[in-house]
Amino acid sequence: MRRTLVGVDLLVLGDETGVMAGALTRAGFTVATGEVPAAGADRVAAILAYRVVPSEAEPLRGAAAGGVPVLLAGDALLDLAPDSPLADDAGLLVGTGTRRHEIRVRLGPDAGELAARYGPDVVLTDTWAVPDKVADDVLQLLTANLSFADHPVCTWRPSTRIGAFTLGAAPATLHDPRYQRLVVRWVRLALGLADGPPVGVGMLGFGAIGAEHASAIAAVDGLRLAAVADANPTRQQAALAVAPDAAAYAGANELLADDAVQLVVVSTPPWTHAEEVVRALTAGRHVVVEKPFCLTVEEADAQLALAAKCRRTLAVYQNRRWDADFLALRRAVCGGLIGELFHLETFVGGYGHPCNYWHSDERVSGGAVYDWGSHYLDWVLELVPDEVAWVSATAHKRVWHDVTNADHTRVLLHFAGGVEAEFSVSDLAAVPKPKFYALGTAGAVVGDWRTERVVSRGTTGLLEEDVLAPADAPARMRLVGADGSETVLATPPALPQPFHRELADQLLTGIPMSVTPAQSRRTVAVMQAATESARAGGRPVVPQR
């Protein structure tokens, strides 16, 4: 029976696994699946077809003629006969499909809106239909090279309202987040939806992490550093040195009085986060807050509720999700290379005096568990999505009595399904443990710390050596098989400015970020439970749900 598609934004055909329907739904579309509706008998805004059965070709042409964009994806063009009027309307004379091979997808001459935040070439392994001829009025949005000639892989023909994206036949392509993002942007382009002007960013606090945000904002299309507020005039000057066009203020109230600021990056010390986030959300701004999100679950819940009420984006800067060594570990664990993960340890530290700055003052930082744990426990919780049944922590205060952070803390997490994880942070570890130690039912991954040196010549020609702290270099990742065999895992390069790209995408196109504040709330719940447990001598504490 034909479904009634009243009020539906997007009809998706032939997406058997529902992967693309899911991606488009997350990006804000109302998606229906089913048959091609009769032309004019619905309110479908666009049709995305991953297959075209012969009986649908004419209704699709009719829909396009009636003003509904028709987007042919994956193998859909190859479903059509070479002389098909639908392919003709697409402006493409379809040749043959290629064999499965690595395809380097590049921006085409007419990329337009697809060019925003594209980054390095998207590389996919798939088959594709190489057009023998392309009509002059077809916009070539994306291209790929075959036999030393560029051919369109993604097109849009405004005169007929038909486009083609000839990639997406392979399941791996459909699951690739960068492919999904391109499809969303292609659909938006066909619907005439543009990104809108750049989002004005105001930074509250321009300390050690300030330059990282400023350079990412400058590099990412759709973000613009409009203003900086810092109580310290020297830090205001440091901000103006890298962003001379930004306004400079002393505090949050002046920053929030500036209409050019639509998003606030809260990068003040941790104990101020909750108050400053609430202040910015209440003033109608989107917010990025530095890690740790905040110090208590109650604070996290209040911020999440307020962001939902105000319909504003709230994001936590979990930038280490894209660390190369963690990406290698995640790829190995999620790819089943060690079987079922059941034991995971992470460690950071060494033997040395902690810094005499707020990081070492637990009233400001929340303690060492918060300072590093907001990254390391975030990694643990990303790898083990199961519910945390209880947390137990022990802390030692033995040597560094001039600072308030514990000298050595061990946090044990016990998950409902039996998986165990441990995070240790230490300033008393003369011998460091590996950064990562993951045991699975079929093997293990070990991440060994590296001590790297930057070697150069000084102005007088003498050798100069800069020794990096171990935490400043990605760990060397070893995959160890059940038979003892060892493989060094490649550490995949991440996209440049991955967090800020996702942020701009979410704000400007609705494509959701991969890091969510709900995930960071879970990390805060574990850190809070660990702090409570350590005060109680290691008593198991159930993190707040």
3-state class (DSSP) for residue 303: helix
The smaller minimum CB distance to ligand NAD, of residues 35 and 275, is found at: 275
Distances (CA, A) of 542 to 20, 392, 408, 416: 37, 9, 22, 11
Among 128, 156, 317, 326, binds ligand NAD (CB under 6 A): 317
Among 166, 319, 392, 405, binds ligand NAD (CB under 6 A): 319
Nearest one of 378, 412, 372, 380 to 394, comparing CA atoms = 412
CA distance 295 to 278: 14
Among 268, 303, 424, 520, binds ligand NAD (CB under 6 A): 268
CA distance 115 to 221: 9
Using rule CB under 6 A, residue 227 touches ligand NAD: no
Among 270, 443, 517, 543, binds ligand NAD (CB under 6 A): 270
Using rule CB under 6 A, residue 207 touches ligand NAD: yes
Residue pointed to by tokens 């379809």? 94
The bridge status of strand 223-229 relative to strand 199-204 is parallel
CB of 291 to ligand NAD, least distance (A): 5
Residue nearest ligand NAD by beta-carbon distance: 207
Among 84, 98, 272, 394, binds ligand NAD (CB under 6 A): 272
Q: Which of residues 167-206 bind ligand NAD (CB under 6 A)?
A: 204-206
The smaller minimum CB distance to ligand NAD, of residues 293 and 449, is found at: 293
Using rule CB under 6 A, residue 290 touches ligand NAD: yes
- Cβ neighbours, 10 Å, residue 487: 14
CB of 209 to ligand NAD, least distance (A): 4
The smaller minimum CB distance to ligand NAD, of residues 73 and 238, is found at: 238
Omega within 30 of 0 (cis) for the link into 197: no
Among 140, 180, 262, 267, binds ligand NAD (CB under 6 A): 267
Quick one: CA torsion of 217, 223, 227, 231, rounded to 10 degrees?
-40
CB of 93 to ligand NAD, least distance (A): 51
CB of 424 to ligand NAD, least distance (A): 19
Phi, psi of 463, rounded to the nearest 5 degrees: -65, 135
The smaller minimum CB distance to ligand NAD, of residues 156 and 499, is found at: 499
- Cβ neighbours, 10 Å, residue 394: 16
Using rule CB under 6 A, residue 251 touches ligand NAD: yes
Q: How many residues bind ligand NAD (CB under 6 A)?
A: 22
Using rule CB under 6 A, residue 291 touches ligand NAD: yes
How many Cα atoms are found within 13 Å in the side-chain-facing hemisphere of 150? 12
Residue pointed to by tokens 């986030």? 277
Using rule CB under 6 A, residue 98 touches ligand NAD: no
The bridge status of strand 162-165 relative to strand 70-73 is parallel
Using rule CB under 6 A, residue 257 touches ligand NAD: no
CB of 276 to ligand NAD, least distance (A): 7
Using rule CB under 6 A, residue 424 touches ligand NAD: no
Q: Is 483 exposed, middle or buried (0-12, 13-18, 19+ CB in 10 A)?
A: exposed
Q: Is 341 exposed, middle or buried (0-12, 13-18, 19+ CB in 10 A)?
A: buried
The smaller minimum CB distance to ligand NAD, of residues 297 and 368, is found at: 368
Among 6, 123, 219, 231, binds ligand NAD (CB under 6 A): 231
Q: Are 332 and 489 contacting, i.e. CB atoms less than 8 angstroms apart?
A: yes
Among 117, 188, 235, 500, binds ligand NAD (CB under 6 A): 235
CB of 445 to ligand NAD, least distance (A): 23
Q: What residue spans of 366-445 are helical by DSSP H? A: 368-383
CB of 369 to ligand NAD, least distance (A): 13
The smaller minimum CB distance to ligand NAD, of residues 179 and 499, is found at: 499
The single-letter code of the amino acid at 456 is S
Kindly write down the DSSP assignment for every residue of 40-54, as one continuous string.
TSS---EEEES---H
CB of 236 to ligand NAD, least distance (A): 9
CA distance 81 to 533: 68
Chain residues binding ligand NAD by CB under 6 A are: 204-209, 229-232, 235, 251-252, 267-270, 272, 290-291, 317, 319
